[in-house]
Amino acid sequence: LDAYRRLLESVPDHAVALCNAGSILKSLGRVDEALDCYRKAVAADAQCFEGHYNLGITQREQGRTEEALASFRRAIELRPAMSDAHFALGNVLRVIDRKAEALAAFERALALDPDHVKARWSRVMAQLPAVYAPGEDPQAFRRQFEAELAELERWFDGRRIAQGAAGVGADQPFELAYQEENNRPLLARYGALCTRLMGHWQQHERVPPPSVRRHSRLRVGFVSAHLRFHSVWSAITKGWFQELDPGRFALYAFHIGIDEDQETAFAKSRAAHYERGPKELREWVDAIGAQELDVLIYPEIGMDPMTVRLASLRLAPVQAASWGHPETSGLPTIDYYLSAEDLEPQAAQAHYTERLVALPHLGCHFERLATAPAPADPARAGIDTRQPLLVCPGVPLKYAPQHDWVFPEIARQLGRCRFIFFAHWTRLLSDRLAERLQAAFKTRGLSYERFVTFIPWQTPAGFLGWLRRADVYLDTIGFSGFNTALNAVESGVPIVTREGRFLRGRLASGILKRLGLHELVVPTEQAYADLVVKLTADSAYRQAVAARIEGSRTALYEDRAPVRALEDFLVRAAQGV
């Protein structure tokens, strides 16, 4: 880096030096400085392919999707035969759910390079839209994904398997979780493919299998991209770092993300060992292996590429996942799934390839919310404050098309109300949901504009402000909210939830049952609509429910029973009991 800086002092518009300096800075986690170098490179030489391409990669990683699209398209103009650029373009189009365009980009990459592993992998995952457009059938896409997955299993033959590890984690079937179906059969096939490819890599790289050792304190590792302020950290991981007995357990933190904050500092303070990214796969494997762990826990699998790649390997004698992504991993390398008694239905083991461990109550230890609400101004958003306000907190992915009719049904019964949705940072996703809702209201002869408003995505304080103004919180059906439901509890807002078939659809219902508010948990969509209407129309009942929430909510916080049970489990698992 110093050598490039000296060169740039004498030749400040040296595009190649700027690109190389940017890549070094990025590897050091100095992303803003890397972006600045790439921008200067393309300003100095508009024909610099590497500058446009690397700028696009970094913009995509920072969520600047429109900027990334422009960078990749310029890179393709400069080198139209570069398959990686077409793949990168498809990757961004996939992130923003422009499915047809993404598939076309992947097909172009494969036409240029028929053995392009990442493009072939992503072509399969891109069969699943994030948000369905009006008239689209989720089951049709599910069948297409299954067929493409079968083709991908065959595609990785003896010749291609050597490069297969590059595809694992490049894209993931994240959207399956938003279908209220038992995904175990599909994810078991996906997981078997991941472990087959990563197992070949492990053998080729001569990574030794973990050995069973006995330590005075049990060594428990945590691999996550979210050892920072994040919903997974707040709900699950932080309580473990707070409450696991340091006399019995030594915690090892592997933060594969690059962002750090005060929560990261807390994780460091509780860890016997801490490492952060960015690192390459082999570097992470060596770093984890060097600590000779007894148990390795992934608080979430499926939300980060590196997590999937690492979880597809055997890096500790005992490996477990938890419900940061509330779905089975499907990976044969993950032995246990840490869930909660209050969140699982009967016979839930059938939903997991892992052995299910249902910890007591909500399965986690968390503190009372410390964020102060910011004032909400419905009038500024064009909302008549005399109307009942019904907060719909989910991201667009959580709203399945088969449930769209519930909203106009509530509106029909009430005659006057306002549904508050929150516009996603990828506007296309919210627009697609809005199109479906418009069609649902039109079918029932109602005006969408009279009842529905999308407001900008809120900060945590801003969201709390809207909850304080709300009459009822409408939990998402099929894929429930946990942290947002806790926000509603803290705000004293009645919650209505339809209990789901699987863990991911039972998060809010678990909270309500823990509070003794079983009456707010209903079995059907029609009962859901009817209860929203009752709470909205009957102010005395609504206020009574709010008072019960406020009087009972302390029962949720700082519950040590799940942590004590986790400690017992960790000891038994490490001993092979």
pLDDT, tens digit, 9 for 90 and up, residues 450-463: 999 999 999 999 99
Domain boundaries, the chain: 2-168, 218-364+560-574, 378-556
Average pLDDT over the chain reads 95
Q: What is the pLDDT of residues 128-186, one digit of tens each?
A: 999 999 999 999 999 999 999 999 999 998 789 999 999 999 999 999 999 999 999 99
The answer to which of 3-12, 35-44, 246-255, 274-283 has the lowest mean pLDDT is 3-12
User: Domain 218-364+560-574 maps to which CATH number in 3.30.300.10, 3.30.390.30, 3.40.50.970, 3.40.50.11380?
Assistant: 3.40.50.11380
Q: How far are the Cα atoms of 16, 102, 133, 169 from residue 137, in angstroms, in the given order?
A: 48, 19, 9, 26
CB 448 within 8 A of CB 418: no
Q: Of the candidates 231, 348, 396, 357, which has an alpha carbon nearest to the alpha carbon of residue 300?
A: 231
For residue 317, give the nearest of 390, 199, 221, 252 by alpha carbon.
Answer: 221
Task: Report residue 369's pLDDT band, with 50, 70 and 90 as the boundaries.
Answer: confident
Burial of 505 (0-12, 13-18, 19+ CB in 10 A): buried
CATH no., domain 378-556: 3.40.50.2000
Q: What percent of the chain shows pLDDT beyond 70?
A: 100
**SS3 category, 456:** strand
Q: Which fold has domain 2-168?
A: 1.25.40
Q: Tell how far CA 452 is from the center of its chain.
A: 26
Interval 64-93 mean pLDDT? 96
Which two structure tokens, joined as six digits, stand for 29? Answer: 């986690």
Strand order in the sheet with 249-255: 273-276, 249-255, 218-224, 295-298, 318-322, 336-340, 355-359
The string of DSSP letters for 33-80 reads: HHHHHHHHHHHH-TT-HHHHHHHHHHHHHTT-HHHHHHHHHHHHHH-T
2-168 and 378-556, same CATH topology:
no
Tens of pLDDT, residues 381-407: 999 989 999 999 999 999 999 999 999
> Looking at residue 129, what is its pLDDT?
94
Distance from the Cα of residue 278 to its chain's centroid = 19
Is 577 a residue whose pLDDT tops 70?
no
Residue 432, pLDDT above cutoff 60: yes
H or E element: which one contains 9?
helix 2-10
Mean pLDDT over 54-62 rounds to 92
